[in-house]
Amino acid sequence: MSYENIRLEQEAGIATITFDRPKALNALNRALLGELAQALGKLAEDESVRVLVLTGAGEKAFVAGADIGELATFGPLEAKWFSRMGHEVIGRLQELPIPVIAAVNGYALGGGTEIALACDFIYAADSARFGLPEITLGLIPGFGGTQRLPRLIGPAAAKELIFTGRMIAAEEALRLGIVNRVVPAAELMAEVRKTALEAAAKGRVALRAAKEAVNHGLGVDLATGCRLEVDAFSLVFASPDAREGTRAFLEKRKPVFRGRFKGDPPA
């Protein structure tokens, strides 16, 4: 499948989606969101993919927000449809059963920050900038920013960023806990790939179980979350990966994980 606004590449179990509107600083419009939804649907069905990386084309931007030219034409009904579309696509990204890493290579503003927040974690170039500047346009974040950011950094810090629309540097994003790691821009993709390969070498079934336990546990009380973990822990034993991993440890060798979601091969 060919795309006009994104690029989808796969190598060694790692898929990379590149937002590819560099002349518009990779701004989000309806066409890009539609293509992103299609790509995510394809990846969700492809069991050869173990990790997804998101990044932006060019050196200036990851995603510099929504396409303002398109936003300016919206009435309330179009705005609601656009926001709902964004929520659905970003929700699908968050629910992918594989690790998702945001490689933020430049401006991640508005919808760019919101997409990055839906990834499992973020690595940023030292030149990256984050922010939710919608308030400066007389608007508010519409793709989950008012919900994911407070859950990540606390309501007070999130409100300061949302109410002021202030843009912050990668180092401040690191201090606030938005970003996991900041590296020189020239080294960003190599660093992301190193971590992606490390995660891709792990058992796919266990990765999915761990991701679901964390994500679903965040929305419940501790006792319920611990029960979710007990169920997830026991279910991974249905995959031959559990036997392979423990056996490899006892035999002092590197495990070879082959577990799948849609029916595991014979042990």
User: Which own/partner contact pairs does 191-196 have at CB distance under 8 Å and 24+ positions apart?
Assistant: 191/123, 192/53, 192/55, 192/101, 192/103, 192/123, 193/14, 193/53, 195/101, 195/123, 196/14, 196/51, 196/53, 196/99, 196/101
Question: What φ, ψ does residue 28 adopt, rounded to 5°?
Answer: -85, 130
- Measured CA to CA, the distance from residue 132 to residue 33 in angstroms comes to 19
Find the Cα–Cα–Cα–Cα dihedral 156, 159, 163, 169, rounded to 10°.
90
Residue from 134, 172, 187, 191 carrying the catalytic annotation: 134
Reading the block at residue 161, the tokens are 């960023």
> Is 171 in the active site?
no
Q: What angle do CA 109, 110, 112 make, to 5 degrees?
A: 60
Reading the block at residue 86, the tokens are 């964004």
> Is 134 in the active site?
yes
Residue from 35, 59, 88, 114 carrying the catalytic annotation: 114
With a CB cutoff of 8 Å and minimum separation 6, the contacts of 68 are: 27, 137
Reading the block at residue 158, the tokens are 């999130």
From 160, 74, 63, 159, select the one nearest 114 (Cα to Cα).
63
- Catalytic residue positions, numbered: 114, 134
